[in-house]
Chain A
């Protein structure tokens, strides 16, 4: 998809004025945050498990060369195929080739962020193969021709009314007199419409939450069961996964699974966790004849060994989005590409470039909640700071901003001058704003005062007060 991260500011303004979106975000803020806190509190070992989860992923990344080839060997031994994709185009070609060989006309899809990243639906559709999303949320946004706005709740921004309208447009045999207003009737309608698609699909594509080196298994975690129908019914099962999904053993996956659902939805465990190893065995009555794993790099190996390596621990639970004051205010679409919230602010510049996504690591208050709830203890704010530094080094910010930073750096390195300047500024602003107590506009700061007032300073500067109190 065409990224719109460059216009983050405009996107954000639009989102703030979108009343429906604001209702959905308010609900999310309450629900997800509360449920995660309850689930974490219920498991006394939760914090210790986070440490272990981090250690497992760090170990795997440190030996990624070994684990990747191990995984490949085991998949092959089980009768499956591993395909290596350097970038999105390579992955698209591999998937299309497998589908063509299978003579596929329709392809069902489980939820996959890699599928979004490589825009596989557009690619298949362009070549005459119909992709059908089967996760309810993904199905809704596919009908609306939109990207997901949340990692685990892709249609969180869509209202019941809008869903009903999409279904009426897409489901030709739907009786116009039939009431669709309730979530219950909408779910029944989607279930009915998709059932037939599941049964008739030629190829099923899923993502993977984990790849297991020990057994060559791929793992999906869902609540709906759509991923399982997607990968069990068609003749061919394709798994889309990126390199960093690897863990060494089933035990390692189990440890991280204890963190995943609790961090994501606050469930004790998701309904369906499925481990797939190779195609159906000869005497089996069902399951796919072919099993393909597409391993996507797309810039991830370049993150290894850099200050962004720790981002590769991410398990895509969405906790950082749910707890982020920026995401809570503007939702996912403002971020302009596939990954959103704090994890998107760190990952997106690595995948599509800082020129394209430079706004995202700046869209943070550095409140630190994302890092505090990240099950894999990824230092997200620190990495956003690294991106800001790179942005400065590469002269990507506007001239005025660079000039401002330069002026500030000049003052910050001269404490006496800094104190004097602060004193004069505080005094002047204090006097000028005495009557109203705040400024609606200020020269050079219209951007700041556009959406809020600047309170007029009262009394001496912080440093002066600090000195007067004897530094206590």
Chain B
């Protein structure tokens, strides 16, 4: 195994005609990694906050996600129950063990059965909490952690995602900056743009290949300050 390593690296060194970068170059490369700098960022998402949120919604809808605006945190259970009723889905929900979700007033919806944890395969609907939203393509960023099991993003047929409007940034690079500020890289970072799909059968686009058939975004936005 270490012989493979030696052989490959020796072959690369031979091709590059050097035995590793010289000290000055090494310092420069290490600097490039230690302080990553954005490359060109498209102008599309360089907008004031309210328009950025509007772009996020527009792009997410274009990717076949549905979006509902919720004005207050307490109204989330009702918004979830409404959505499930409208889509004819059973009133059963698996939520991520995230205080922001577990702390919601679920008791106001006694008909809704709510369980907290990971998914095992039989769950129909999950509710997760996005770390960030990226306006340029209507993309959600979810990171794994004890409060955010990755299986909830992929196993259930329907995935509902809560995101606060204040967490919506313009470009991917801004989301990376937020993530770095929050600590070490988690096991998994998921960029999610719309529900699962495939065009592998006669180039016909269909939703719900292996991941969720429906992606519903609850945008928590208190609206313009009075």
Q: Beyond A136-B198, A225-B210, is A83–B118 a contact (Cβ under 8 Å)? A: no
Using a CB-CB cutoff of 8 Å, which residues 348-388 of chain A contact chain B?
none
- What residues of A have a CB within 8 angstroms of the CB of B86 in the complex? none
Q: Report the Cα distance A287→B173, complex, angstroms.
A: 26
The interface stretch among B70-78, B103-111, B160-168, B187-195 is: B187-195
Nearest chain A CB to B187's CB is how many angstroms away? 5
The verdict on A269 contacting B202 (CB below 8 Å), with A45-B40, A84-B5, A191-B210 known, is no
Q: Are B172 and A254 in contact (CB under 8 A)?
A: yes
Residue of B nearest to A154 (CB): B200
Among B8-16, B123-131, B217-225, which stretch is in contact with chain A?
Answer: B8-16
A301–B196 CB distance below 8 A:
no
Does B99 lie at the interface of the complex (its beta carbon under 8 Å from any beta carbon of A)? Answer: no
Interface digits, B151-180 against A, CB 8 Å rule (1 contact, 0 not)? 101110000000000000001110010000
B residues less than 8 Å from A136 (CB atoms)? 198, 200-201, 209-210
The answer to whether B210 touches A229, judged by C-beta atoms less than 8 angstroms apart, is yes
Q: Which chain B positions have C-beta within 8 A of A257? A: 172
Q: Are B36 and A83 touching (Cβ within 8 A)?
A: no
Nearest opposing residue in chain A for B137, CB measure = A269
B41-85 interface with A by 8 A CB criterion: 42-44, 59, 62-63
Q: Is A421 an interface residue (CB 8 A)?
A: no
Cβ of A66 within 8 Å of any chain B Cβ, yes or no, is: yes
Q: Is the CB of B209 within 8 A of A160?
A: no
B146: nearest chain-A partner, CB-CB? A283
Whether A24 contacts B63 by the Cβ 8 Å rule is: no
Which residues of A have CB within 8 Å of B149?
Answer: 284-286
Instruction: Decide if B33 is an interface residue (CB 8 Å cutoff).
Output: yes
Interface contact B12-A226, CB-CB below 8 Å: no
Tell me, in angstroms, the Cα distance from A44 to B11 when the chains sit together: 40
Q: How far is the CB of B87 from chain A (nearest CB, A)?
A: 18
Of A86, A226, A275, which contacts B210 at CB under 8 A? Answer: A226
Most buried by B among A186, A225, A269, A276: A225
Most B CB within 10 A of own CB, among A135, A224, A277: A224
Known: A187-B201, A281-B187. A225 touches B211 (CB 8 A): yes
Collect the chain B residues with CB atoms within 8 Å of residue A284's CB: 144-146, 149, 187
CA distance A275 to B144 in the complex (A): 10
A228 contacts across to B, CB distance below 8 A: 150, 153-154, 190, 211
Identity of the chain B residue whose Cβ is nearest the Cβ of A288 in the assembled complex: B187
CB-contact partner of B187 in A56, A69, A280, under 8 A:
A280
A297 near B210: Cβ-Cβ < 8 Å: no
B39 to chain A, nearest CB (A): 4
- Decide if A287 touches B144 in the complex (CB within 8 Å): yes
Please state if A272 and B192 are interface contacts (CB–CB under 8 Å). Answer: yes
Q: A272-B192, A285-B149 are in contact. Are A160 and B39 (CB under 8 A)?
A: no
The distance in angstroms between the C-alpha atoms of A149 and B38, with both chains bound, is 36
Whole-angstrom distance between the Cβ of A106 and the nearest chain B Cβ: 16
Residues of A within 8 A of B154 (CB): 225, 228-229, 232
Q: A63 and B21: CB pair below 8 A?
A: yes
How far does the alpha carbon of A343 sit from the alpha carbon of B192 in the complex, in Å? 29
Does any Cβ of A come within 8 Å of B89's Cβ?
no
Task: Take A43-B44, A268-B193 as given contacts and tell me if A229 and B173 are in contact as well, using a CB distance cutoff of 8 Å.
Answer: no
Cα distance A249–B129 in the bound complex, in angstroms: 26
Partner of A84 from the list B4, B32, B146, B209 (CB cut-off 8 Å) is: B4
The answer to whether A66 and B209 touch (CB under 8 A), given A199-B121, A215-B185, is: no
User: Are B4 and A83 neighbours in the complex by a CB distance under 8 Å?
Assistant: yes
Q: Scoring A residues 275 to 300 as 1 if CB is less than 8 Å from chain B, else 0, what string do you get?
A: 11111110111110000000101000
Judge whether A270 and B4 touch: CB under 8 Å. Answer: no
B200 touches A153 (CB 8 A): yes
Interfacial chain A residues near B5, Cβ < 8 Å = 84
B212 at the interface (CB under 8 A from A): yes
| Residues of A with C-beta under 8 A to B121 | 195, 198-199
Q: State in angstroms the CA–CA spacing of A53 and B163 once bound together.
A: 31
A-side contacts of B24, CB under 8 Å:
none
CB-nearest residue of chain B to A215: B185
With A183-B202, A183-B206, A194-B210 in contact, is A277–B193 under 8 Å at CB? no
Q: Once the chains bind, are A134 and B210 in contact (CB under 8 Å)?
A: yes
| Given A187-B201, A250-B176, also A65-B9 (CB < 8 A) | yes
13 chain-A/chain-B pairs, Cβ below 8 angstroms: A31-B203, A65-B18, A67-B29, A137-B200, A155-B201, A217-B185, A251-B176, A254-B39, A268-B59, A268-B193, A277-B188, A283-B145, A297-B8
Q: Enumerate chain A interface residues (CB-CB to B < 8 A).
A: 24, 27-28, 31, 43-45, 48-49, 52, 56, 62-70, 78, 83-86, 90, 94, 134-137, 140, 153-156, 159-160, 163, 183-184, 186-187, 191, 194-195, 198-199, 213-215, 217, 223-226, 228-229, 232-233, 243, 248-252, 254-255, 257-258, 265, 268-281, 283-287, 295, 297, 301-302, 304-306
Question: Which residues of B approach A to under 8 Å, CB–CB?
Answer: 1, 4-5, 7-9, 11-18, 20-21, 25-26, 29, 32-33, 36-40, 42-44, 59, 62-63, 97, 117-121, 137-139, 144-146, 149-151, 153-155, 171-173, 176, 185-204, 206, 208-212
3 closest pairs, A vs B, by CB?
Answer: A225-B211, A304-B15, A224-B209
Kindly list 5 other residue pairs between chains A and B, CB separation below 8 angstroms, not including A271-B193, A285-B146, A301-B15. Answer: A43-B44, A84-B7, A271-B211, A277-B188, A305-B15
